[in-house]
């Protein structure tokens, strides 16, 4: 398999030829594996920055942000599931760990069912803003040298089409 940046590679007319794929369907697998590798490459340094700020998992930042944005009303666990594209059990585990760390608390939601509402603790109020500084620096350092702003928005547009 040729790499597209190989200077010895002959000029090609289409992306399929550039990658030497006999079947164009292979492109979808290439996307999947590229996304997985990018995730494995970007996440360890980002996670280290977050851990240094008391955030054990990047999802915690998103939960803190959602709960803080919800204000006094808190955020429903069901809304967190939808927003984060996580199953109920995963959201529950994250909330339980965050509760143990003193970042959030939860209460039974009013109405029928077993719904719960998540609130940011007084101690964690505003923490998402502090965490964002380190988080954003790390993400920018990883991506900005490789993508200009227009490329970043173009990639974002393409990736957003992949959401269900």
Q: pLDDT of 59-101, one tens digit each?
A: 999 999 999 999 999 999 999 999 999 999 999 999 999 999 9
Q: By C-alpha distance, which of 43, 64, 66 is closest to 55?
A: 64
> What average pLDDT does the structure give for the chain?
90
CATH architecture of 21-160: Orthogonal Bundle (1.10)
pLDDT number for residue 17: 87
CB atoms within 10 A of CB 119: 19
**β-strand pairing of 75-76 with 116-120:** antiparallel
Q: By C-alpha distance, which of 53, 31, 51, 33 is closest to 43?
A: 51
pTM of structure: 0.80
pLDDT number for residue 86: 96
Of the listed ranges 13-17, 73-77, 160-164, the one predicted with least confidence: 13-17
Residue found under tokens 């030829």: 17
pLDDT band at 163 (very low <50, low <70, confident <90, very high): confident
The mean pLDDT value for 117-127 works out to 93
Is the model's pLDDT at 118 over the cut of 60? yes
């Amino acid at each position: 398999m040729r790499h597209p940046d190989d200077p010895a590679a002959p000029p090609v007319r289409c992306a399929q030829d550039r990658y030497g794929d006999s079947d164009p369907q292979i492109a979808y697998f290439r996307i999947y594996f590229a996304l997985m590798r990018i995730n494995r490459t970007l996440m360890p340094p980002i996670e280290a920055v977050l851990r240094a700020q008391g955030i054990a998992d990047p999802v915690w930042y998103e939960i803190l942000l959602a709960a803080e944005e919800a204000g006094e009303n808190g955020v429903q666990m069901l809304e967190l599931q939808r927003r984060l594209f996580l199953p109920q059990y995963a959201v529950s585990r994250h909330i339980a760990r965050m509760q143990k760390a003193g970042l959030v608390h939860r209460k039974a939601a009013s109405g029928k069912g077993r719904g719960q509402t998540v609130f940011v603790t007084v101690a964690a109020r505003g923490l998402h803003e502090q965490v964002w500084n380190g988080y954003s620096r790390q993400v920018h350092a990883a991506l900005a040298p490789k993508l200009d702003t227009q490329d970043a928005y173009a990639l974002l547009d393409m990736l957003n089409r992949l959401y269900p």
